[in-house]
């Protein structure tokens, strides 16, 4: 049975001494078919906004437009979420920001299509959520990089339902809050969204794999 710890409790406690304004901005990218595909990201956007985080959802092809928007706004800290082809867009945008001075604090990729890809080294924390359906990608980590890379399997989901998963939504929202609090989250705070019976290893020296049950 899936048992979630009190929603965001640890993440929120971390932020009690932080500045009240949320610095991080979140950009979400739908898959190639757009609406009605990837509509779970619209729900996730509303949940992020309700938690006090600026968020907006875009078609997968808009990633370059979002890049110019970020540069124009002078944004310093971002998180990107993408489903299917939108996950590849989030990776492309992260790599485009490599020398920009913008910190990509969290990269949440939902069912990346195609063969395994490398996590961008300029994303402080990257996570691939993978459905039970074959053909979708895990993330590789550059062993010389010091960024956190986690592959999270989500049982009982397929490609067209994983973006609706409340477990994935809770994981991503908590991760964004934790990324706001710290660029290098510790294992003691990652349990804010991990199942109580499971410890998610967060050693920055290697890629880790976990599961949402």
pLDDT tens for residues 83-98?
A: 999 999 999 999 999 9
Domains of the chain by residue range:
9-211
pLDDT of residue 135: 80
Say which residue the tokens 């729900």 belong to.
43
User: Which pLDDT score, from 0 to 100, does residue 23 have?
Assistant: 81
If we measure between CA atoms, which residue out of 138, 178, 177, 142 comes closest to residue 154?
Answer: 138
In sequence order, what are the residues at sequence separation of 6 or more whose Cβ sits closer than 8 angstroms to the Cβ of residue 88?
A: 60, 82, 112, 113, 114
> How far is CA 95 from its chain centroid?
15
What does the alpha-carbon distance between residue 145 and residue 139 come to, in Å, rounded to a whole number? 13
Question: Could you tell me the two tokens for 36?
Answer: 């009605």
> Does residue 21 or residue 152 have the better pLDDT?
152
List the one residue out of 73, 54, 61, 69 whose CA is nearest residue 32.
61
CATH homologous superfamily for 9-211? Alpha/Beta hydrolase fold, catalytic domain (3.40.50.1820)
Q: What angle do CA 55, 57, 60 make, to 5 degrees?
A: 140
Range 168-194 average pLDDT: 67
Percentage of the chain modeled with pLDDT above 70:
74
Average pLDDT over every residue of 151-170? 92
Query: Strand 136-137 and strand 112-113: pairing?
Result: antiparallel
Residues in the chain: 213
- Average confidence (pLDDT) over 4-8: 37
The tens digit of pLDDT for each residue in 25-71 reads 999 999 987 567 788 999 999 999 998 899 999 999 999 999 999 99
Task: Check whether 158 has a pLDDT greater than 70.
Answer: yes
């Amino acid at each position: 049975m899936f048992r979630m710890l009190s929603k965001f409790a640890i993440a929120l406690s971390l932020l009690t001494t932080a500045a009240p304004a949320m610095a991080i901005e979140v950009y979400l990218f739908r898959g190639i078919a757009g609406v009605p595909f990837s509509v779970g990201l619209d729900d996730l956007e509303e949940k992020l906004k309700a938690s006090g985080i600026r968020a907006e959802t875009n078609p997968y092809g808009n990633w370059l437009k979002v890049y110019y928007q970020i540069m124009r706004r002078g944004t310093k800290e971002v998180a990107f979420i993408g489903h299917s082809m939108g996950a590849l867009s989030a990776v492309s945008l992260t790599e485009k920001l490599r020398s920009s001075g913008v910190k990509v604090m969290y990269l949440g990729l939902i069912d990346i299509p195609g063969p395994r890809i490398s996590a961008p080294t300029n994303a402080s924390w990257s996570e691939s959520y993978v459905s039970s359906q074959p053909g979708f990608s895990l993330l590789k980590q550059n062993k010389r990089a010091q960024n956190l890379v986690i592959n999270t399997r989500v049982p009982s989901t397929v490609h067209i339902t994983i973006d609706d998963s409340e477990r994935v939504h809770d994981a991503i929202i908590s991760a964004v809050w934790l990324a706001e609090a710290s660029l290098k989250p510790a294992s003691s705070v990652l349990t804010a969204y991990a199942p109580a019976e499971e410890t998610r290893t967060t050693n920055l020296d290697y890629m880790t794999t976990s599961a949402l049950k």
